[in-house]
């Protein structure tokens, strides 16, 4: 069995869906399980539905209308007027509205999962019907009957045993299913975290003992830097699992960080390939050489907060203070991307995804002296040389630099 994953960018419009057929015709379809994300930026649009439903009711209708118009515009381009997909799409949209009308729960994360999961349900229905129209016989699979998780909504943890057992039911030659979504023991819909479809592909490959996973992208493969930020990029033809984990950990958004470990455990190679340039071999992630060609790799994280904390009574920054600070970071769900400690001061580069930084500041500022810079950029360079560091230092005011054997991290104020 092979696992293919098509992300939102690959099915962002009708041409994207048509191109999935090209890819499958080029690659063959035997013994393949295809994982598909929500179309384009639909997950963001569904997040707006959740937000309006809870906090801005007057905008809910408009938010839902966007979802409907977006999908029907694609369907109109792909299918004849009487096609069954119209009814199926209306049924799914009706279910979503029914949930919003009947729901009495107040838990944001639970509501989020029930709503946002429709992105993947809609996209896979559309793609699978289109494949069947093109005589590619794919079985549509509700992945919630296979991938089982706990009830930690928005960031659910996989129940590997139950998932593995369910995978034994999969016998068809070609499946098409959803990324990102799963379900708990009592069949409530859960999700695996934003950008989690890569992870779904990794989970399924692990449980099915797949021969390979291919992630189809709008770029040639894993590049040594994000092409949206750097002009000259180099295709990495081969990287090790370890290198891919490091790059994803530091924030290279091309692969979801949790994807690699299950593949590494079963030595399943991961290919990252272009869905446009099918002849290009892309990147192979497997056991072996760190990376080829050997070149510096750049990872950028924007919108960071650099915080320096010192004690007001001139005591040292040792375990007791550090543990109090870490506890607060954890409570406020602030993601720490870099840490630097000295005798009297402690610096962290943070990401405030849940808008809790002010709360964090309020909690600590009576006891500690806190200085911070907002909206700074964290650059991570793997396999750096002098030239690579100089290139980054030219981008703005250097606020902090940390060097280890293979990795240098620089916090830069680019304003």
In the beta sheet, which residues pair with residue 183? 148, 189
- Tell the residue number behind the tokens 């692969």, with chain if given: 255
Q: Which two tokens stand for residue 77?
A: 């381009």
332 touches Mg ion by CB under 5 A = no
* Residues 220-239 as x/- pattern, contact with ligand ADP by CB under 6 A: --xx-xxxx-----------
Which residue number, 8 or 257, has a Cβ lying nearer to ligand ASP? 8
Smallest gap from residue 220 Cβ to ligand ADP (A): 8
Residue span binding ligand ASP (CB under 6 A) among the ranges 74-82, 152-160, 192-200, 305-313: 192-200
Local structure of residue 158 (DSSP, 8 states)? B
Q: Which of 38, 126, 247, 317 binds ligand ASP (CB under 6 A)?
A: 38
Which residue number, 298 or 346, has a Cβ lying nearer to ligand ADP? 298
18 touches ligand ASP by CB under 6 A = no
Residue span binding Mg ion (CB under 5 A) among the ranges 17-25, 187-195, 357-365, 405-413: 187-195
Local structure of residue 229 (DSSP, 8 states)? T
194 touches ligand ASP by CB under 6 A = yes
396: left (phi over 0), alpha (psi -120 to 50) or beta: left
251 touches ligand ADP by CB under 6 A = no
Q: Identify the sign of the CA torsion 158, 164, 169, 172.
A: positive
Nearest 5 degrees, angle CA 38-CA 41-CA 46?
75
Residue span binding ligand ASP (CB under 6 A) among the ranges 70-78, 133-141, 188-196, 396-404: 188-196
SS (H, E, C) 342-409: CCCEEEEEEECCCCCHHHHHHHHCCCEEEEEEEEEEEEEEECCCHHHHHHHHCCCEEEEEEECCCEEE
Q: Which residues have C-beta within 8 Å of that of residue 414, sequence separation ≥ 6?
A: 376, 377, 395, 396
Q: Which of residues 193-212 bind Mg ion (CB under 5 A)?
A: 195
Q: Identify the sign of the CA torsion 62, 66, 68, 72.
A: positive
From CA 15, how far away is CA 63, in angstroms rounded?
Answer: 24
Q: Which of 122, 210, 245, 252 binds ligand ADP (CB under 6 A)?
A: 252
Smallest gap from residue 318 Cβ to ligand ADP (A): 38
Smallest gap from residue 194 Cβ to ligand ASP (A): 4
255 touches ligand ADP by CB under 6 A = no
CB atoms within 10 A of CB 216: 24
52 touches ligand ADP by CB under 6 A = no
From CA 174, how far away is CA 30, in angstroms rounded?
Answer: 6
Which stretches of 134-240 are DSSP H helices?
A: 160-167, 197-208
10 touches ligand ADP by CB under 6 A = yes
Q: Which of residues 302-341 bind ligand ASP (CB under 6 A)?
A: none
Residue span binding ligand ASP (CB under 6 A) among the ranges 193-201, 299-307, 375-383, 399-407: 193-201
Q: Which of residues 382-401 bind ligand ASP (CB under 6 A)?
A: none
Which residue number, 26 or 55, has a Cβ lying nearer to ligand ADP? 26
Smallest gap from residue 105 Cβ to ligand ASP (A): 22
φ, ψ dihedrals at 72, nearest 5°: -70, -30
Binding site for ligand ADP (CB under 6 A): 7-10, 217-219, 222-223, 225-228, 252-254
Binding site for ligand ASP (CB under 6 A): 7-8, 37-38, 43, 119, 179-180, 194-197
């Amino acid at each position: 069995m092979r696992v293919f994953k098509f992300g939102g960018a690959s099915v962002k419009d009708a041409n994207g869906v048509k191109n999935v057929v090209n890819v499958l015709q080029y690659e063959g379809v035997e013994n393949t399980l295809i994982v598909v994300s929500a179309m384009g930026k639909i997950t963001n649009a569904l997040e707006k539905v959740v937000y309006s439903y809870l906090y801005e009711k007057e905008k809910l209708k408009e938010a839902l209308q966007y979802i409907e118009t977006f999908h029907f515009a694609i369907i109109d381009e792909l299918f004849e007027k009487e096609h069954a997909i119209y009814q199926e799409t209306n049924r799914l949209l009706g279910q979503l509205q029914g949930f919003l009308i009947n729901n009495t729960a107040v838990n944001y994360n639970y509501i989020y999962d029930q709503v946002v999961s429709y992105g993947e349900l809609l996209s896979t229905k559309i793609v699978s019907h289109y494949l069947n129209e093109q005589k590619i016989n794919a079985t549509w699979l509700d992945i919630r009957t296979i991938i089982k998780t706990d009830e930690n909504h928005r960031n659910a943890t996989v129940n590997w045993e139950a998932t593995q057992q369910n995978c034994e039911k999969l016998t068809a030659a070609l499946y098409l299913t959803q990324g990102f979504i799963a379900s708990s023991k009592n069949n409530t819909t859960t999700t695996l975290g934003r950008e989690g479809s890569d992870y779904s592909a990794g989970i399924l490959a692990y449980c099915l003992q797949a021969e390979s996973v291919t992630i189809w992208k709008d770029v040639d493969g894993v590049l040594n830097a994000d092409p949206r930020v750097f002009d000259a990029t180099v295709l990495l033809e081969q990287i090790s699992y370890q290198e891919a984990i490091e790059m994803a950990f530091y924030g290279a958004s091309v692969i979801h960080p949790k994807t690699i470990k299950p593949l590494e455990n079963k030595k399943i190679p991961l290919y990252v390939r272009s869905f446009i340039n099918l002849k290009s071999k892309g990147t192979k992630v497997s056991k072996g050489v760190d990376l080829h060609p050997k070149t510096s790799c750049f990872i950028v994280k924007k919108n960071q907060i650099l915080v320096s904390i010192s004690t007001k009574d001139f005591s040292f920054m040792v375990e007791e203070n550090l543990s109090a600070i870490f506890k607060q970071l954890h409570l406020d769900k602030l993601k720490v991307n870099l840490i630097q400690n000295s005798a009297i001061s402690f610096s962290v580069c943070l990401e405030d995804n849940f808008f809790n930084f002010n709360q964090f500041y309020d909690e600590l500022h009576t006891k500690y002296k806190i200085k911070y810079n907002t909206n700074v950029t964290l650059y991570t360079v793997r396999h750096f040389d002098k030239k690579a560091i100089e290139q980054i230092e030219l981008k703005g005011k250097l606020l902090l630099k940390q060097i280890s054997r293979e990795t240098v991290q620089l916090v830069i104020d680019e304003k």
